[in-house]
A and B are shown apart, each in its own frame.
Chain A
Amino acid sequence: MTPSAFTVPGLLPAAAEIFLLGMACVVLLVDIWLPDRYRRLTCQIAQASLAGALILVLATFPDARATTFAGTFVADPMAAVLKTFLLLVSGFGFFYARVHLEPRGLMRGEYFVLGLFAVLGMMVLVSAGNFLTLYLGLELLSLSLYAMVALDRDSKPGCEAAMKYFVLGALASGMLLYGISMIYGSTGSLDLATVGASISATGDMRLTLVLGLVFVVVGVAFKLGAVPFHMWVPDVYEGAPTPVTLFIATAPKIAAFGMLMRALVDGLGGLAADWSQMLVVLAVLSMAAGNVIAIAQTNIKRMLAYSAIAHVGFVFVGMAPGTPDGYAASMFYVLTYVLMALGGFAMVIWLGRAGHEADLLDDFRGLNDRNPWFAFMMLILMLSMAGVPPFVGFWAKWSVLREAVDAGMIWLAVAAVLFSVVGLFYYLRVVRLMYFESPRDAAPVTAFADMKVVVSVNALAILALGVYPGTLLDLCEAVIGA
């Protein structure tokens, strides 16, 4: 092989990632030299970087699947849409983070630098064309998140959560790698497309392959926080500073969906009959445990953690039939759920004050008397999460249920709706506390104008999407089919 055989890979499909990597380094350097009073600039540059990456993603929006870096990096419409939402959600997340960190003296550059690296990891993850890229993206994401959880280094619960997250996360990564190695052993390739093509040809290696699949599913289930791999979720959600919880609860869910699609559909689509059963078990367990345990929570961050577990169950319900329409339904579910989780944690951030974190359900008592507008926004968020029409959460549940019923999994759909009734109970409790109880501290809670606008846009988007979900649904179906 002559040296001239080396060709520079096409960089354009990965333009946004490359830009973001550069900007993350810039933010890191700028932050070092910045005096404390200009700290807000770090946040602004980080948000500008996200905006720039977003523009690049949209400018290079692919019409069809394209690969670069010898097939390890895939740019397809699905990845582009997931990245668009990742960047948007992270941009909102950074805004909420500033609102929280500034008054608490935690406004350090680390949050934004780590956040940018995490976003980069997620973008690589959803564009993975190779098990190695997948792992690389996942680790970049996870390592950034471990550090972010311990952002407030004086907080004991924070450090404990970070430790727990790290140990369990490392275990899951190990499982994933182990599974990948088995898949490599039986197919002789790490390239997702090659693995997908060779599955049908591996008659006698099938057992190894399925065993590998089990470990991959475990790894993905851990990252999504599905029962029984959910142990880290409540502790991390509760222990981490709220803006970090908000970040972990939103964008990584989109990335994890991308990972699910890449590993299970692109790579192991030939084993759909096998993983479908595993996902059904995970789905039922997650919906059951998530919804039932959430009832017992008094801390709203913990409650939302269990609610997240239950929602992951619903995502799996859409994946279980193994059809493109089902994937599109799950994608719609993830995107809309992330919007709701974003709003939910934003409310927790808004209600908190330096020295008093509003992370107990009791803090929402009588909110309607203290600030009717925000109470109404929270009402929308909670009822949407519960899946009551006319909010978008209903359509999300509806679309995954439709796919399950279409595939003949009627009992799964019945189980899902019954658990959603259980779920309704604790979402209604928040509404009940806000509207039907009188506040302990009747002082009105105010909000800065920017906070009010952002939260309102967030919550009203849920209402608007609920009245007209068609466009986003069409988009999901179009990019999954592409």
Chain B
Amino acid sequence: MTGLPLLSLLVWTPIVGGLWVLFAGVGRGPSTVRAVALVVSLATFVLSIFLWAGFDAGTHEMQFVERAVWISAFDIHYHLGVDGISLPLVLLTTLMTVLVVLAGWVVIEYRPAHYMAAFLIQEGLMVGAFSALDSILFYVFWEALLIPMFLIIGIWGGPRRIYATVKFFLYTFLGSVLMLVALLYLYSEADSFAILDLHHVPLGFTAQVLVFIAFLAAFAVKVPMWPVHTWLPDAHVEAPTGGSVILAAIMLKLGGYGFVRLSMPIAPDASAELAMFMIALSLVAIVYVGFVALAQPDMKKLIAYSSISHMGFVTLGFFIAFSLMEAGDATSAALGVEGALVQMISHGFISGALFLCVGVMYDRLHSRMIGDYGGVAHPMPIFATFMMLFSLANSGLPGTSGFVGEFMVILASFKAGAWIAVLAATTLVLGAAYTLWMYKRVVYGPVASDGVAALSDIGRREFVILGVLAVMVLAFGLWPAPLLEVMEPSVEHLLEHLARSKL
């Protein structure tokens, strides 16, 4: 392990870089700003590679731990660390931010300095949220990152951006304040805010249920689970491309991460008791929202609903583990949780890529409506190829990363109950239906209008962005082993912990 405080660097490099861009960059012209933003995000990405390289995949212990007293009066610590669950998410964050900076390269003409600064600061806050080991530090990062996203959607968004962004902020804030009360309650029980200490605090059943519900309010909104998902389609549709990418690829994962990091280990008995309820909600998300996606005329909205449906797999994978453990099948339980984690990473790449694809078309034709397109393959063959790959990945084609997570979760749910697996597997049909049908209407067929005929194919910058994501989607689809190896010890440890009752 190196002596450098790598995690702190990962949190603060983008924040400091972002602040520089925000204040010093305004007067310096867009090209300097873009270059600095790219350098900062690349530097952060390189740092995260070091983090990965130095990570010991043989243990579930927290690594790269940094701990210092932050607010002594409240017993709050600046406490960071990563394990096999958070490391992939940190890497996902740093990679996606580089791509988002590139995606906003020439497209953003209004206040580019502020745009780049918002994304950089947000990157630091997201890495902080994934690596915080003090629950209040986690909460601070978790809430603070609403501010840049609020501004990103509100300033650079579409026509109904104000409605969408206020709804986004209020919805998520409402969910998280209840979590705050739960954390304060846990402190009065555990006398510590350290997340790992909270895992071991004994709690009565009623207390567990209440804590679980308070956390659920926060994480269910973020994931988002049906029926508190309604902010997401609005936010996605109105956000600029970069905002949609970060929302879908990373912010939603914070909700899933919250479940594994806080809800389940702190309230294992309540989680087990309410597992069927959570599974039911996840299945509703997978099936019902899948149908809703089918009916969307707007590409971004369609992908937003598809995100909700796919995130249903994440919560399904987490909570299926409880009924499997009850049946004594720990191997399948691990399969479910790992599948859910893989699904989080994979969905990060795929949904990000699809939003970028829509962004590519939107930049040229300024429309997101499926009806305005048709025959895009003729003027944009390279783009069409990329989009086909991502569409297939979104529908869960074997060989792409989309297949791995879904397949693992479906396999695990078969052990828990055939009907769960059957319902979950409808996504393979529905997902293929809405994604490929959208693809067919947009890309194939006769050229719909003169505007479409005049489209130019993607340039070098766009090729790099989509190319990187294509490589990722294929790499994890064909060889997910590195990802699984990193996760395995942590997941096993988590399941051991969940199997022990706190009562």
Chain A residues engaging chain B, CB cutoff 8 angstroms: 372, 383, 388-390, 394-395, 398-399, 401-402, 405-406, 410, 413-414, 417-418, 420-421, 424-425, 428, 431-432, 435-437, 468-470, 473-474, 477
* In the complex, chain B residues 64-115 whose Cβ is within 8 Å of any chain A Cβ: 70-74
Assess the B181–A405 pair: CB atoms within 8 A.
yes
Which residues of chain B come closer than 8 Å to A414, judged between CB atoms? 178, 181
16 contacts between A and B (CB under 8 A): A388-B143, A390-B140, A402-B74, A402-B187, A405-B184, A406-B184, A417-B181, A418-B174, A418-B177, A424-B170, A428-B150, A428-B169, A428-B170, A431-B150, A435-B155, A477-B73
The 8 closest A-B pairs by CB, nearest first: A417-B177, A473-B73, A405-B184, A389-B140, A436-B154, A470-B71, A421-B174, A389-B143
Give A107 to B72 CA distance when docked, in angstroms.
Answer: 46
Assess the B26–A398 pair: CB atoms within 8 A.
no
Which residues of chain A come closer than 8 Å to B170, judged between CB atoms? 421, 424-425, 428
* B11-51 interface code vs A (CB 8 A; 1 in, 0 out): 00000000000000010000000000000000000000000
Which residues of chain B come closer than 8 Å to A410, judged between CB atoms? 181, 185
Which residues of chain A come closer than 8 Å to B72, judged between CB atoms? 470, 474
B267 to chain A, nearest CB (A): 16
A181 to chain B, nearest CB (A): 40
Assess the A473–B74 pair: CB atoms within 8 A.
yes
Assess the B26–A372 pair: CB atoms within 8 A.
yes
B276 contacts partner chain A, Cβ-Cβ < 8 Å: no
Give A67 to B386 CA distance when docked, in angstroms.
Answer: 80
Assess the A388–B146 pair: CB atoms within 8 A.
yes
Closest to B186 in A: A405
B166 contacts partner chain A, Cβ-Cβ < 8 Å: yes
Assess the B173–A424 pair: CB atoms within 8 A.
yes
* B124-161 interface code vs A (CB 8 A; 1 in, 0 out): 00000000000010011001101100110011000001
Number of A-B contacts (CB under 8 A): 87
B206 contacts partner chain A, Cβ-Cβ < 8 Å: no
Give A413 to B177 CA distance when docked, in angstroms.
Answer: 10
B166 to chain A, nearest CB (A): 6
**7 extra interface residue pairs, beta carbon distance < 8 Å, beyond A399-B74, A417-B180:** A405-B181, A410-B185, A424-B173, A428-B170, A431-B150, A470-B71, A473-B74
B188 contacts partner chain A, Cβ-Cβ < 8 Å: yes
B162 contacts partner chain A, Cβ-Cβ < 8 Å: yes
Which residues of chain B come closer than 8 Å to A428, judged between CB atoms? 150, 166, 169-170
B384 to chain A, nearest CB (A): 35
Among B70, B150, B161, B177, max chain A CB count under 10 A is at B177
Assess the A432–B180 pair: CB atoms within 8 A.
no
Assess the B154–A413 pair: CB atoms within 8 A.
no
Which residues of chain B come closer than 8 Å to A421, judged between CB atoms? 170, 173-174, 177
B183 to chain A, nearest CB (A): 9
Which residues of chain B come closer than 8 Å to A474, judged between CB atoms? 72-73
Assess the A425–B184 pair: CB atoms within 8 A.
no
Which residues of chain A come closer than 8 Å to B143, judged between CB atoms? 388-389, 394
A280 to chain B, nearest CB (A): 16
Assess the A420–B188 pair: CB atoms within 8 A.
no
Provided the pairs A388-B143, A436-B154 are in contact, do residues A401 and B169 lie with their beta carbons within 8 angstroms? Answer: no
Which residues of chain B come closer than 8 Å to A401, judged between CB atoms? 180-181, 184
Assess the B162–A436 pair: CB atoms within 8 A.
yes
Assess the B147–A383 pair: CB atoms within 8 A.
yes
Which residues of chain A come closer than 8 Å to B155, judged between CB atoms? 435-436
Which residues of chain A come closer than 8 Å to B173, judged between CB atoms? 388, 421, 424
Which residues of chain A come closer than 8 Å to B169, judged between CB atoms? 424, 428
Which residues of chain B come closer than 8 Å to A389, judged between CB atoms? 139-140, 143-144
Assess the B154–A405 pair: CB atoms within 8 A.
no
Among B139, B169, B170, B178, max chain A CB count under 10 A is at B169
Which residues of chain A come closer than 8 Å to B71, judged between CB atoms? 395, 468-470, 473
Which residues of chain A come closer than 8 Å to B184, judged between CB atoms? 398, 401-402, 405-406, 413
B62 to chain A, nearest CB (A): 23
B427 to chain A, nearest CB (A): 34
Give A473 to B150 CA distance when docked, in angstroms.
Answer: 30
Which residues of chain B come closer than 8 Å to A437, judged between CB atoms? 162
* B176-210 interface code vs A (CB 8 A; 1 in, 0 out): 01101100110110000000000000000000000
Assess the A413–B181 pair: CB atoms within 8 A.
yes
Which residues of chain A come closer than 8 Å to B188, judged between CB atoms? 405-406
Give A123 to B147 CA distance when docked, in angstroms.
Answer: 39
Give A8 to B280 CA distance when docked, in angstroms.
Answer: 80
Closest to A402 in B: B184
Closest to B136 in A: A398
Assess the A432–B166 pair: CB atoms within 8 A.
yes
A48 to chain B, nearest CB (A): 34
Assess the B140–A470 pair: CB atoms within 8 A.
no
Which residues of chain B come closer than 8 Å to A372, judged between CB atoms? 26
Closest to B69 in A: A470
Among B73, B154, B184, max chain A CB count under 10 A is at B73
Give A432 to B154 CA distance when docked, in angstroms.
Answer: 8
Which residues of chain A come closer than 8 Å to B136, judged between CB atoms? 398
Give A410 to B183 CA distance when docked, in angstroms.
Answer: 12
Give A358 to B146 CA distance when docked, in angstroms.
Answer: 29
Which residues of chain B come closer than 8 Å to A390, judged between CB atoms? 140, 144
Which residues of chain A come closer than 8 Å to B74, judged between CB atoms? 398-399, 402, 473
Which residues of chain A come closer than 8 Å to B151, judged between CB atoms? 435
Closest to A372 in B: B26
Assess the A398–B181 pair: CB atoms within 8 A.
no
Give A388 to B149 CA distance when docked, in angstroms.
Answer: 14
Which residues of chain B come closer than 8 Å to A405, judged between CB atoms? 181, 184-185, 187-188
Give A35 to B177 CA distance when docked, in angstroms.
Answer: 57
Assess the B180–A398 pair: CB atoms within 8 A.
yes
Provided the pairs A432-B154, A470-B71 are in contact, do residues A388 and B147 lie with their beta carbons within 8 angstroms? Answer: yes
Give A399 to B162 CA distance when docked, in angstroms.
Answer: 32
Give A420 to B178 CA distance when docked, in angstroms.
Answer: 11
Which residues of chain A come closer than 8 Å to B178, judged between CB atoms? 414, 417
Closest to A474 in B: B73
Which residues of chain A come closer than 8 Å to B177, judged between CB atoms? 417-418, 420-421
A194 to chain B, nearest CB (A): 33
Give A418 to B180 CA distance when docked, in angstroms.
Answer: 11
Closest to B151 in A: A435
Closest to A332 in B: B73
Provided the pairs A421-B174, A470-B72, A473-B71 are in contact, do residues A394 and B185 lie with their beta carbons within 8 angstroms? Answer: no
Closest to B166 in A: A428
Assess the B166–A394 pair: CB atoms within 8 A.
no
Give A470 to B187 CA distance when docked, in angstroms.
Answer: 18
Which residues of chain B come closer than 8 Å to A473, judged between CB atoms? 71, 73-74
Closest to B73 in A: A473
Give A432 to B155 CA distance when docked, in angstroms.
Answer: 9
B176 to chain A, nearest CB (A): 9
Among A425, A432, A437, max chain B CB count under 10 A is at A432
Closest to A472 in B: B73
Assess the A388–B181 pair: CB atoms within 8 A.
no
Give A406 to B75 CA distance when docked, in angstroms.
Answer: 14
